């Protein structure tokens, strides 16, 4: 063993001695020999060289056109809570789809809300169509007394029911808007379907003249609050009574619909629920009901309740040959069967012509945005055209008078 060690030393005698790498350097060299590390080091070197090149020579694309954009994701519109529209079966018609779109709201200064096509009214004013309501807000004028008025209601199974006061005053008289004719032809307008959509309801209350009568759906949430607000702005109020139409129950006006084959007790019970929803209305109007109106027995029972409670019945023209109730009135025409500004204004012009010919005329419409817009603009010019705007109650007549 010693001999082998001696021969190895002799074999290496006279050669230059080799330096042995230290342990730390050996580990570094071994690490750098790995392929992944080598590639990473090469990329780092390349990026560093490019950076040095740009630093020394400048950005080679500095003279090229450039643009910068900031992208943001819009917030999703909040879902509207369900309303009485579902119960009233009008939601399937999509009547309010434009109103629930993002950005549709009433501004605080009564200015324009959205741009739409305009039409020219007889007095030179313009009215927009579609979903915008640009007619200015009107400050509350001649507010009506707050409801209930003492002695005109009594407790009912579902809420206060209208009654004739001991002194003979009736809800039809006490809750109507006072009216003094000036000798000119009179024209009146009822705008209905209110209470289901807060935007159109508030717009009708605040932007239509106080002489325009407003009609509310009994299924509306917060119905009494809406009626109180309407009366505070001077509007007299009607309640809509759902009546059986052709095609019922597929064509269903909603709960507590008055049925053509119902007896007097059933009609009275359903009316107790409908009339007990609120107070402060001078009468009622029909919602649908062509089949109900054709039933002698059902109509007699209904009108008997109206008469006993001192309420007016103002129909949409479908029951014009049915006398009864405490006071009666019928619309001469529906102004918005076609929901376009031009068609509505044509009907309003025809209403004016009927008033000039007959001394008075009553129109009825639904609270479409285009109806509210056109009616608000049209009403402003009535006096200049020689007519007087009157509440619907002024068009009603007592039986035998």
Q: Read off the pLDDT of residues 366-390 as tens digits, 9 standing for 90 and up.
A: 999 999 999 999 999 999 999 999 9
Q: Read off the pLDDT of residues 285-298 as tens digits, 9 standing for 90 and up.
A: 999 999 999 999 99
Buried-exposed string 68-98: b where 16+ CB fall within 10 A, e elsewhere = eeeeeeeeeeeeeeebbbebbebbeeebbee
Q: Give yes or no for a contact between 309 and 163, defined as CB atoms under 8 angstroms apart.
A: yes
Q: What sign results for the dihedral spanned by CA atoms 112, 115, 121, 125?
A: positive
C-alpha 351/C-alpha 208 separation (Å) is 17
C-alpha 173/C-alpha 394 separation (Å) is 10
Q: Which helix (H) or strand (E) holds 178?
A: none
pTM above 0.75, yes or no: no
Q: Read off the pLDDT of residues 303-328 as tens digits, 9 standing for 90 and up.
A: 999 999 999 999 999 998 778 789 99
Residues above pLDDT 90, as percent of the chain: 62
Q: At 40, is the pLDDT very low, low, confident or very high (cuts 50, 70, 90)?
A: low
C-alpha 231/C-alpha 99 separation (Å) is 24
Q: Give yes or no for a contact between 374 and 127, defined as CB atoms under 8 angstroms apart.
A: yes
Distances (CA, A) of 311 to 96, 169, 234, 307: 31, 11, 19, 6
Average pLDDT over residues 41-55: 61
Q: Would you state the pLDDT for residue 21?
A: 45
Q: Read off the pLDDT of residues 169-220 as tens digits, 9 standing for 90 and up.
A: 999 999 999 999 999 999 999 999 999 999 999 999 999 999 999 999 999 9
C-alpha 37/C-alpha 42 separation (Å) is 9
In the chain, what are the domains?
117-130+152-398 (3.20.20.370)
Q: Read off the pLDDT of residues 49-100 as tens digits, 9 standing for 90 and up.
A: 665 555 545 555 555 555 454 545 455 454 443 333 333 333 333 333 333 3
pLDDT at 156 over 80: yes
């Amino acid at each position: 063993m010693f001999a082998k060690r001696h021969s190895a030393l002799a074999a290496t005698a006279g050669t230059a001695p080799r330096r042995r790498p230290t342990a730390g350097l050996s580990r570094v060299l071994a690490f750098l020999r790995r392929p992944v590390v080598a590639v990473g080091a090469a990329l780092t070197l390349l990026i560093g060289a490019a950076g040095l090149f740009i630093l020394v020579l400048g950005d080679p694309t500095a003279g090229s056109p450039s643009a910068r954009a900031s992208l943001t994701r819009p917030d999703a519109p909040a879902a509207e809570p369900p309303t009485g529209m579902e119960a009233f079966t009008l939601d399937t018609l999509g009547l309010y789809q434009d109103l629930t779109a993002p950005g549709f709201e009433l501004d605080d200064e009564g200015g324009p809300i959205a741009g739409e096509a305009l039409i020219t009214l007889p007095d030179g004013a313009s009215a927009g169509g579609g979903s915008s309501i640009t007619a200015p807000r009107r400050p509350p004028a001649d507010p009506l007394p707050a409801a209930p008025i003492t002695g005109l209601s009594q407790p009912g199974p579902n809420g206060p029911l209208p009654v004739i006061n001991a002194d003979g005053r009736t809800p039809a008289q006490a809750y109507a808007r006072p009216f003094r004719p000036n000798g000119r032809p009179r024209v009146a307008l009822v705008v209905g379907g209110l209470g289901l959509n807060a935007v159109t309801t508030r717009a009708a209350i605040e932007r239509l003249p106080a002489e325009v009568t407003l009609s509310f759906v009994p299924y509306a949430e917060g119905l009494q609050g809406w009626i109180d607000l309407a009366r505070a702005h001077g509007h007299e109020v009607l309640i809509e009574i759902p009546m059986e139409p052709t095609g019922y129950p597929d064509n269903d006006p909603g709960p507590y619909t008055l049925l053509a084959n119902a007896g007097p007790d059933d009609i009275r019970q359903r009316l107790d629920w409908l009339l007990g929803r609120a107070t402060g209305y001078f009468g009622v109007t029909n919602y649908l009901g062509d089949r109900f109106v054709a039933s002698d027995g059902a109509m007699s029972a209904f009108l008997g309740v109206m008469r006993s409670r001192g309420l007016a019945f103002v129909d949409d023209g479908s029951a014009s040959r049915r006398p009864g109730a405490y006071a009666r009135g019928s619309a001469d025409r529906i102004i918005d069967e076609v929901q376009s500004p031009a068609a509505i204004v044509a009907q309003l012009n025809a209403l004016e012509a009927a008033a000039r010919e007959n001394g008075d005329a009553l129109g009825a419409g639904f609270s479409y945005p285009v109806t509210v817009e056109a009616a608000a603009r049209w009403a402003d010019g009535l006096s200049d055209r020689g007519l007087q705007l009157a509440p619907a109650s002024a068009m009603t007549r007592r039986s035998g008078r």
